[in-house]
Structures are given as structure tokens and as C-alpha cells.
């Protein structure tokens, strides 16, 4: 158990819908990272927050957004969902920004029908 | 995209043998590298890291080698065990661009 929690574990929705994925980092970790893992694109970095502020952006679509709240939990919002958005979404946390071990949560499996 | 997952290289080794997993990283400005292990149905798990001012770093049964000249990273696992069966990812990052770039992954299968 990494100490990072993600909810929900599974999510099934329809095209055009909007969903919110939630992540609680390890106690004391200030950085939260979001990743998307799909069969054809591998593991892709989406976005990072550090202590409430956006720190780095990766391959995140404009339909996706994220935020980190004062209690350090983070949410990833996915809107106007397409079939190709079906993937595993992982959250990771670390004490620092950039360097150091990232602890990954168990992931949320999103299926868009 | 920066991480291509179309073809997952596979490596099969006999239990007890040493394993070497290779990774070509993409950006010469990267100065921090990490190896992750991902077991089926789980999130990636940190194995070992190395900074660009080092060529080699050792952990428990694992060694990471970095060759900056050819932008190559390798992970050596000594006395491979069935529990080592997983997909292994290398990742690179830098304070100059912050985002993390993952390699496509290598699937390691240990034959008992």
C-alpha cells in the first residue's frame, strides 16, 4: 500500500459526459501528479501540482483539467468524454517537486462507452 | 506522443539468472532518471533512481547504469525471482522542464 488513495476504482460512462477523479496523496506529500495509461499510448504524464499550484504540464488535453485543494487532495476533471479517453488514470504523490520517489495510487479505470 | 506504447519489448529469463533491461531516453537535458516496476493490476512502484552526475547506482539486487553519451539507461536485476515478473518503465525528467517522460516499458517474465 503506497498511502495514495484514488476514487473511484472503476468508472463507466458514456461519450460526451464529464467525470471527476479524486486523489488523496500520502500524508505530508505536497506534490501530486496525474498520469494516463492506455494500451496504445503507454504511460503519459498529464499534470503536476505542488502545494496547490500547477507546476508542470504534460500531454493533457484541453477537455481535461485538474486542481489541488488546500488539504492537498487533487481532482482530475475529464469532460466531453470520447471513446479514446478510456484508460487507467493514476495519481502519484511525492514530498518534493520533480526529484525523488513518486508513490502511485491504485488507479481509476475509466471506460467510455 | 513522447511515450510510445505500441510495442512492448519482452524479456524472458530463468529464475536465478541476472536480468538486464534497457532504455533509451529522449532528452539530453534530462538530469534525473527513475526505474519503476508495474505488476499486473497495480500502479507503478519506484525501484531506483539516478542523477546525471552519476554513472552507476546500486540498490538491493538492482543496479542502474547511465550512459549520457548515448542517452542510455539500464536496469540490472541480480538473481531474478518470480516476483520480479512485471513491466519495467524508465522515466526521465529535469528541473528545466519538470514534466516526466516515461519509456514504453519492458515486460519481464521469469521462468521458474
Q: Tell me the pLDDT tens digit for each residue of B54-101.
A: 999 999 999 999 999 999 999 999 999 999 999 999 999 887 666 788
- Provide the mean pLDDT of chain A: 93
Which pairing describes strands B32-38 and B45-51: parallel, antiparallel, or unpaired? Answer: antiparallel
Q: Shortest Cα distance from A95 to chain B (angstroms)?
A: 14
Q: How many C-beta atoms surround the C-beta of residue B43 within 10 A?
A: 22
What per-residue confidence (pLDDT) applies to A50? 93
pLDDT score of B35 more than 90: yes
What per-residue confidence (pLDDT) applies to A22? 98
Contact A102 B46 (CB under 8 A): yes
pLDDT score of B12 more than 50: yes
Contact B102 A43 (CB under 8 A): yes
Contact A45 B4 (CB under 8 A): no
Contact A103 B46 (CB under 8 A): yes
Grid cell listed for A107: 488507479
- Judge residue B60's burial from the number of C-beta atoms within 10 Å of its C-beta, 0-12 exposed, 13-18 middle, 19 or more buried: exposed
Q: Report the percentage of chain B scoring pLDDT > 90.
A: 76
Q: How many CB pairs under 8 A join A and B?
A: 77
* Residue A38 in contact with partner chain B when CB distance is under 8 A: yes
pLDDT score of B1 more than 60: no
**pLDDT winner (highest mean) among A35-44, A94-103, B23-32, B59-68:** B59-68
Residue of A56, A101, A103 lying closest to B99 (CB–CB): A56
pLDDT score of B105 more than 80: yes
Nearest CA in chain A to B35: A101
* Residue B58 in contact with partner chain A when CB distance is under 8 A: no
Q: Please, are residues A59 and B2 in contact by the beta-carbon 8 Å criterion? A: yes
Query: Residue A111's pLDDT band (boundaries 50, 70, 90)?
Result: very high
Q: Tell me the pLDDT tens digit for each residue of A49-71.
A: 999 999 888 889 999 999 999 99
Q: Please, are residues B48 and B64 in contact by the beta-carbon 8 Å criterion? A: yes
Q: Tell me the pLDDT tens digit for each residue of A20-47.
A: 999 999 999 999 999 999 877 788 999 9
What per-residue confidence (pLDDT) applies to B6? 46
Which residues from B are below 8 Å from A99, CB to CB? 32, 49, 51, 93, 95
Contact B5 A41 (CB under 8 A): yes
Q: Is B83 helix (H, G, I), strand (E, B) or coil?
A: helix
Amino acid at each position: 500500500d503506497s498511502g495514495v488513495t484514488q476514487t473511484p476504482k472503476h468508472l463507466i460512462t458514456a461519450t460526451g459526459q464529464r467525470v471527476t477523479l479524486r486523489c488523496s496523496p500520502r500524508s505530508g506529500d505536497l506534490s501530486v501528479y496525474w498520469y494516463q495509461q492506455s494500451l496504445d499510448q503507454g504511460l503519459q504524464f498529464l499534470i503536476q501540482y505542488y502545494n496547490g499550484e500547477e507546476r508542470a504540464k504534460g500531454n493533457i488535453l484541453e477537455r481535461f483539467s485538474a486542481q489541488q485543494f488546500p488539504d492537498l487532495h487533487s481532482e482530475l476533471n475529464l469532460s466531453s468524454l470520447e471513446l479514446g479517453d478510456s484508460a487507467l488514470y493514476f495519481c502519484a504523490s511525492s514530498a518534493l517537486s520533480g526529484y525523488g520517489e513518486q508513490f502511485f495510487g491504485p488507479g481509476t479505470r475509466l471506460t467510455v462507452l | 506522443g513522447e511515450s510510445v506504447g505500441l510495442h512492448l519489448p519482452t524479456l524472458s529469463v530463468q529464475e536465478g539468472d541476472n536480468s538486464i533491461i534497457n532504455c533509451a531516453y529522449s532528452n539530453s537535458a534530462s538530469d534525473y532518471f527513475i526505474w519503476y516496476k508495474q505488476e499486473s493490476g497495480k500502479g507503478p512502484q519506484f525501484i531506483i533512481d539516478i542523477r546525471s552526475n552519476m554513472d552507476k547506482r546500486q540498490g538491493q539486487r538492482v543496479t542502474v547504469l547511465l550512459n549520457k553519451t548515448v542517452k542510455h539507461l539500464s536496469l540490472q536485476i541480480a538473481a531474478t525471482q518470480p516476483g520480479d515478473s512485471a513491466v519495467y518503465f524508465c522515466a526521465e525528467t529535469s528541473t528545466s522542464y519538470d514534466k516526466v517522460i516515461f519509456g514504453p516499458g519492458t515486460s519481464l517474465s521469469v521462468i521458474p
